[in-house]
Amino acid sequence: MNINGIELKQIRENLWEIPQINGMRVPGRIYISREMLESTLSEDEALKQVMNVAHLPGIEKYSLAMPDIHWGYGFPIGGVAATNLDEGVISPGGVGYDINCGVRLATTSLTLEEIQPKLEPLITKLFQNIPTGVGASGAIKKLSKSDLKKILEKGSVWAVENNLGTQSDIQFTEESGTLKNADFSVVSERALERGADQAGTLGSGNHFLEVDVVEEIYEPKVAEVFGLFKGQVVIQIHTGSRGLGYQVCDDYLKVLLKASEKYGFKLPDKQLACAPIKSQEGQAYLAAMQAAANFAWNNRQVIMHLAKKSFLETFDMKESDLGFHLVYDVCHNIAKIEKHQIGNVIKEVCVHRKGATRAFPPGSEMIPEKYKSVGQPVLIPGDMGRYSYVAVGTEKAMEETFGSSCHGAGRNLSRHKAMKEAKGRDLVSELKKKGVIIQAKGYKTIAEEMPAAYKDVADVVDVMHKEGITRKVAKLKPVGVIKG
């Protein structure tokens, strides 16, 4: 098949390969259905970006893309690439501006029937308690430099130490909520200024907090281990490292652009600016990125605490009756040093996941003890009018995708096109008719994030399910949403 002048060879029903040509060090591989390939990538440069990533020094096996692929900065969103630690590089374009943007899912013991009479007051309370929107601040007091340093080094552990969570929250967060080599000293003053009052804030764009109901269970045994049951009310939080993470990315893109020249890298796109992982520049970016990632985990932890508080206040109930528990927190904009099998050898590699979610299998040492019998929860949000999914990681993901899967629906319309489509429509009423209460900082955000702006996440999840990379466990339906 030829898309935009790029030849793709079909490997399996939902797996396509771009052959290694014109300086590519490895082939490109895209997990996607034929229909999605033809409908969503015919006017997009994302496939070209898959080819560009394949030029990175030290890249192993393939330049990969998930079915929610679309154009991004340097790497496509939905892109995955692993580089070896000897000749390999690290690239901010493979992480993105919103470092450790990710998803957190928490359960309650409540059902939709029980919360329905107070659903609107609940959404209002959540909107009051959790600051949202561009520049949102003030969830907790403005942090001193000393507290900010602790957050950047400890991640969500800081929140728990400050009575903003429980020890079990740490247990059910990827990396236990802390990347250990984070370094406060390599984060700029400007980044620190931007983060000082943004802990516990939701931000804007596609970030959200949703009150969802478990609509379908596909694998009852796995769902039971995750603590999910049909009809259950759950909370989904999607946000990242806010202005601090954006600034870290911006700062280090300048550093790594110079490093690319210094080390003589000839890359097809300057947005792939990179440095050898073991170089001074590479190590500085890695340490700053890890600090921003820790800020993001702490951010989601604080938001979850504020969400729990909102439930307790709205329903005037004891914490023991609410049954509020974290299922998992997983990031989808990150580069991490991990061990993977390359051929017959176990190698340490730097896995870039940009708009891609970790999906580790049963038995993995990197997942909570409780989940070792079934595999890691993989959280895949959709749009605010339809549904999201909980899936589980598999051994095949480790074999083929460095333990990675899709991260969401992926945009179908640009924000500009979505605004045009929304003109003259009352989207708040349309969502209410679908049973979804929404509160947002303005109509513009609702219009830009309207359901039609996104692909149907069911199509995205089905590709990974059919290919055996992840397996569907449960479907969640939104009933209440807050957005920036």
The DSSP symbol for 141 reads P
Exposure class string for 359-387: b at 16+ Cβ within 10 A, else e = bbbbebeebbeebbebbbbbbbbbbbbbb
Query: Residue 332: beta bridge partners?
Result: none
For the segment 140-156, the average pLDDT, to the nearest whole number, is 91
Q: In sequence order, what E strands does 222-344 have? A: 232-239, 275-276, 325-331, 333-342
| pLDDT at residue 163 in the model | 95
| pLDDT at residue 132 in the model | 87
Contact 51, 5 (CB under 8 A): no
Question: Model confidence at 39, in pLDDT bands (50, 70, 90)?
Answer: confident
Asked whether the predicted pLDDT for residue 337 surpasses 90, the reply is yes
Asked whether the predicted pLDDT for residue 411 surpasses 90, the reply is no
Question: Per the annotation, does 465 bind a ligand?
Answer: no
For the segment 442-450, the average pLDDT, to the nearest whole number, is 87
Question: Per the annotation, does 120 bind a ligand?
Answer: no
What is the residue type of 340? H
Tokens (6 digits) for 480? 């209440």
The widest CA-to-CA distance across the chain, in whole angstroms, is: 64
Contact 353, 340 (CB under 8 A): no
Query: ∠ CA 449-76-183 to the nearest 5 degrees?
Result: 95
- Residues noted as catalytic: 407
Question: Per the annotation, does 184 bind a ligand?
Answer: no
CA atoms within a 13 Å half-sphere pointing along the CA-CB vector of 172: 25
Ranges of H-type helices in 21-135:
34-40, 46-53, 112-115, 119-129
Percent of the chain beyond pLDDT 90? 85
Query: ∠ CA 99-105-111 to the nearest 5 degrees?
Result: 155
Question: Model confidence at 222, in pLDDT bands (50, 70, 90)?
Answer: very high
| pLDDT at residue 235 in the model | 98
Contact 12, 46 (CB under 8 A): no
| pLDDT at residue 442 in the model | 80
| pLDDT at residue 151 in the model | 97
Asked whether the predicted pLDDT for residue 332 surpasses 80, the reply is yes
Asked whether the predicted pLDDT for residue 135 surpasses 80, the reply is no
Question: Per the annotation, does 324 bind a ligand?
Answer: no
Work out the end-to-end distance of the chain between its first and last CA atoms, rounded to an integer number of angstroms.
41
| pLDDT at residue 52 in the model | 98
The Cα–Cα gap between 225 and 370 comes to 7
Question: Per the annotation, does 382 bind a ligand?
Answer: yes
For the segment 303-320, the average pLDDT, to the nearest whole number, is 96
Question: Model confidence at 410, in pLDDT bands (50, 70, 90)?
Answer: confident
The mean-pLDDT minimum among 132-136, 229-233, 355-359, 440-444 falls in 132-136
State the angle between helix axes of 119-129 and 280-315 in degrees (0 to 180), rounded to the nearest 10: 140
Contact 350, 90 (CB under 8 A): yes
For the segment 392-399, the average pLDDT, to the nearest whole number, is 98
| pLDDT at residue 225 in the model | 98
Which pTM value belongs to this model? 0.96
**Mean model confidence pLDDT for the chain:** 95
Question: Model confidence at 42, in pLDDT bands (50, 70, 90)?
Answer: confident
Tokens (6 digits) for 170? 């740490």
Query: Residue 472: beta bridge partners?
Result: 391
For the segment 195-201, the average pLDDT, to the nearest whole number, is 92
Helix, strand, coil % in the chain, rounded to nearest 5 = 40, 25, 35
Question: Per the annotation, does 409 bind a ligand?
Answer: yes
Q: Of 308, 270, 279, 310, which is closest to residue 123 (Cα–Cα)?
A: 310
For the segment 21-49, the average pLDDT, to the nearest whole number, is 92
Question: Per the annotation, does 467 bind a ligand?
Answer: no
Exposure class string for 313-348: b at 16+ Cβ within 10 A, else e = ebbeeeeeebebbbbbbbbbbbbbebebeeeeeebe
Asked whether the predicted pLDDT for residue 334 surpasses 80, the reply is yes
The DSSP symbol for 204 reads S
Asked whether the predicted pLDDT for residue 139 surpasses 80, the reply is no
For the segment 57-71, the average pLDDT, to the nearest whole number, is 97
Distances (CA, A) of 51 to 4, 19, 45, 164, 311: 13, 9, 10, 44, 47
| pLDDT at residue 416 in the model | 87
The mean-pLDDT minimum among 71-85, 118-132, 431-445 falls in 431-445
Asked whether the predicted pLDDT for residue 415 surpasses 90, the reply is no
| pLDDT at residue 138 in the model | 73
Question: Per the annotation, does 181 bind a ligand?
Answer: no
